[in-house]
Amino acid sequence: MAAQTGKKGAAKRLVVAAAALAVLVAVGIGLAIVSMSQANAPDYGAGMAVEVEPTRPQAPKPKADEAAEDAPAPQEEAEEPARDLAVPSTAGALQVQGSQLVDAAGNPVQLRGVSTHGLAWFPQYVNQPLFTELRQDWGANVVRLAMYSAESGGYATADGKRSALRDLVMQGVEYATAADMYVVVDWHSLSDANPWTNEWAASDFFAIVSRDLADRSNVIYEICNEPNGDTTWADIKSYAETVIPVIRANDPDAVIIVGTPTWSQDVEAAAADPLAFDNVMYAMHFYAATHQDDLRNRLRTVVEGGLPVFVSEFGICEATGDGEIDYDSADAWVRLMDELNVSYICWNLSNKNETAALFKSDVGKTSGFSLDDLTDEGLWLVDTLRGPGFDRKEVQLARADKKPNAQGSAMMAFAEGTIQWQLDIAETWEQDGRTFFKYEMLGNNYGAGVESWAVTIPFSADVTLEDSWNCKASTAGNELTLASDANSGKVAAGAYVRDVGFIVSGPANLAVVDL
């Protein structure tokens, strides 16, 4: 449950919608009023598609000291390779050394994965095909089984079906084991605020499951999810000193995660007075749109100070589990956790109508998910985990910003050289079950004269080239590449290229994208 408090690689080819043109005019971009006569133009032998006239509003020219003619072309940022996964079959039983989670040989490991929503509410997502998919396709090496304590149907409630909930936890552990993943058994306290409220039920639960799972080397226990309200670290510590021995009686070496005050954010309280048990870690939870630099700095301080922290729940939206997504903050969190080698688990495996759910609310399947089934957070997560089951380019396309594709829409695209292109959708029509889009282009040369030009335009889906004029055109999958021909190649500084365009066909929702 969410705590209660508080794209993109490669040079962008597609940037500003048509409204930006008006903005540029309003701020008086000087190039919009520059004119040049044919007599004064360099001898570039303008063809029928090239004219020397005042240009439309353009991007500012680079300053002279910012770009030399022989400056190397910008290099695309190398994609980060998929991280090695620590899995039970090779890493064995985990333990805690200093601030680090380590494998059986003492090597630092990082767990990265997903949490279920409440098991009583969304039991259907505890199944073998999905857990195998999470491991093999998503690149997760841990799954968290979130069993609410006090919410409707929770273990400590009058309507809670305790035996059925324990059975579901045991099934989840079996599925995770078969998928070669670690598994966190989570006592998901929340509305009960102080873990002492239902300590009796927690002790009962952990006595049974730790007995039944004592021989499993891939099980981690989380004994209180998000203590909150006026619960103090002293309250939590005394609760942990009661419940941990219950687990240790059956499983002396299992890693145990203990929540911290204020919805598992006040990790500094635990750092000041840690528990006197081995193999204990302390939970920090965050929601990226709400929790930012202050909490990130807190994480860095305590981990560098020696506290073993496990981010056993996070989301990239607001702390309610809903609301807006903050991608920049989410990426900053991941960079920090990777730097500190802190393990993290994303909330949640469900199709609940909330931002933090990984599956769209109208998706009824429980395994075999495609990119089309995932929410924005789901797409972000598979992009972050970089699992082998998703093509990186397809993930980036799914996450890309889409330009308007209605007739009359206008957008800007930058060539890799000095010509800035405006694209206008002049016409769309349906024929034989396909949708056709006619694009007209206008290119402004805001730099030095050129002998030739080329621009690649990515679309949201594969396109078929139907026609083009005053240029050479080719397609490869979802990308259309246009290059100058004899009529349009030589473009003087300040001149523009017009009467260039193309027709493509594709799905009705085909759109130019920002990568």
Catalytic residue IDs: 226, 313
Is residue 151 within 8 A of residue 198, CB to CB? The reply is no
Cα-based distances in Å from 329 to 228, 267, 514: 24, 20, 20
Q: How far apart are CA 158 and CA 90, in angstroms?
A: 42
Q: How far apart are CA 213 and CA 248, in angstroms?
A: 12
| Burial group, residue 4, by CB count within 10 angstroms (0-12, 13-18, 19+) | middle
Q: How far apart are CA 151 and CA 159, in angstroms?
A: 10
Give 499's contacts (C-beta < 8 A, 6+ positions apart).
48, 49, 469, 470
Tokens of 131: 């857990």
Is residue 237 within 8 A of residue 194, CB to CB? The reply is no
Is residue 422 within 8 A of residue 411, CB to CB? The reply is yes
Q: How far apart are CA 223 and CA 281, in angstroms?
A: 11
Report DSSP state, residue 53. S
Scanning 10-55, the segments in alpha helix (DSSP H) are 19-26
Beta bridge partners of 118: none
Tokens of 172: 């989840």
Give 262's contacts (C-beta < 8 A, 6+ positions apart).
5, 227, 228
CA 11 from centroid of its chain's CA atoms:
19
Q: How far apart are CA 218 and CA 228, in angstroms?
A: 29
Tokens of 267: 């990790």
